Amino acid sequence: MRDNKLVRDKINEIIEKEGKIAEIHIAAEPEYSQRLKEKLVEEVEEFLSTPNVEELVDILEVIYALAELENLSPAQLERQRQKKANERGTFSKRIVLDKVISKNS
């Protein structure tokens, strides 16, 4: 495991159960926000290299934590997702925009 990164809440306990010492600190909000953004990139990269449900769950957990920083619950986040889906659609139709051509051209 790489050091100096944001980890899930029980990781230090797991490390200590293995007979190792976990040196940790609790991030203040500015650091926490930055670390979550770094964690999101890390988890997306892991999903891209090994696409599986565990990596998707990790991404979702980071997204929920970022939403919480914005005072949004998972339910509120889902309502916002649904609102945007209703207004702009989802990605389920697999549409790829190749080009936009002006009608005046």
2 pLDDT higher than 80: no
Per-residue model confidence as pLDDT tens digits over 6-49: 999 999 999 999 999 999 999 999 999 999 999 999 999 999 99
Per-residue model confidence as pLDDT tens digits over 55-72: 999 999 999 999 999 999
**pTM listed for this prediction:** 0.87
Q: In sequence order, which residues have a C-beta less than 8 Å from that of residue 20 and are 6 or more positions away? A: none
Q: Answer whether residue 52 is part of any domain.
A: yes
Q: Answer whether residue 51 is part of any domain.
A: yes
Q: How would DSSP label each residue in 21-83?
A: -----PPPHHHHHHHHHHHHHHHHHHHHHS-SHHHHHHHHHHHHHHHHHTT--HHHHHHHHHH
How many domains does the chain contain in total? Answer: 1
Q: Answer whether residue 60 is part of any domain.
A: yes
* Residue 104: per-residue pLDDT: 84
Q: Answer whether residue 13 is part of any domain.
A: no
